[in-house]
Amino acid sequence: MGDAPASPARADNGKLSTLPQLHRFITGHNEQGKAIVHSHNDFLWKPYDSDQLAFSVAYTTSEFPPDLNADKDIAAHHETLSTGNLGLVNPRGTVLRCVDFAPGYACGMHRTQSLDYGIVLEGEVDMVLDSGEVHRMRRGDVAVQRATQHQWVNRSETEWARMMFVLQDCKPLVVGGEVFGEDLGTNSGLPASGN
């Protein structure tokens, strides 16, 4: 069971990197109320920025708290992906996204209107902030991004890096009387989140 058709030109459902393919398991309940695996599948990947970056959206929610009854959350997830308009953030919801960064790749400086948890799964990634701060993150390290201007840089010239992100919509951020909203910067090909 998948969320979108795999790219026929690539193996591993569009995966670009040399890193292992990931798998998603969605749980549910049988008629007796016992836990079961509702569905499972390989991550599906979408390339960006001349194949230097790949995204896989593992799951989304569109309301808080989500409604799990009668699999409404699963239906909402499929609906969100089917529109083709999902930005970095899902308004009033969450996005679970895995990102692979090519060796030497630096994404553009950007800001999401969201509270994000970013966990390094493979490699080392520099978190660069617009203040000039640079912090090296290693496997297992977590960034709690609070609507700040930032970029991710894979400093390795030979190895891919991978991060998992949970992005949660947030109220507009106001600092010193100025409202800071989403700023996609030079990240081309990504639609605005609309939150």
Q: How far apart are CA 193 and CA 18, in angstroms?
A: 30
Domain that residue 165 falls in: 12-180
Q: What is the largest CA-CA distance in the chain?
A: 56
Q: What is the mean pLDDT of residues 56-74?
A: 97
Integer Rg of the chain from CA:
17
Pairing between β-strand 125-129 and β-strand 134-137 as defined by DSSP bridges:
antiparallel
Q: Is residue 5 part of a domain?
A: no
Q: What is the pLDDT of residue 188?
A: 60
- Bridge-partner residues for 60, per DSSP? 95
Where is average pLDDT lowest: 7-16, 52-61, 140-149?
7-16
* Whether pLDDT at 120 is above 70: yes
Whose tokens are 């292992």? That residue is 20
Q: What is the pLDDT of residue 187?
A: 63
Q: What is the pLDDT of residue 190?
A: 80
Q: Is residue 26 part of a domain?
A: yes
Q: What is the pLDDT of residue 13?
A: 85
* Whether pLDDT at 143 is above 70: yes
Q: Is residue 6 part of a domain?
A: no
Q: What is the mean pLDDT of residues 3-9?
A: 38
Structural domain count of the chain: 1
pTM score of the predicted model = 0.91
> What CATH code is carried by the domain that includes residue 73?
2.60.120.10
Q: Is residue 192 part of a domain?
A: no
Cα of first residue to Cα of last residue in the chain, in angstroms, is: 29
Q: How far apart are CA 112 and CA 192, in angstroms?
A: 10
Q: Is residue 21 part of a domain?
A: yes
104 or 2: which leads in pLDDT: 104
Q: Is residue 186 part of a domain?
A: no
Q: Give percent of the chain above pLDDT 90.
A: 88
Q: Is residue 3 part of a domain?
A: no
Q: How far apart are CA 38 and CA 165, in angstroms?
A: 23
Q: Is residue 80 part of a domain?
A: yes
**Residue type at position 87:** G
Q: How far apart are CA 86 and CA 82, in angstroms?
A: 9
pLDDT digits (tens, 9 = 90+) for 94-103: 999 999 999 9
Residue 14 binned pLDDT confidence (cut-offs 50, 70, 90): confident
Take residue 139 and report the two structure tokens written for it. Answer: 């496997």
Residue 11 binned pLDDT confidence (cut-offs 50, 70, 90): low
Whose tokens are 């660069």? That residue is 128
13 or 5: which leads in pLDDT: 13
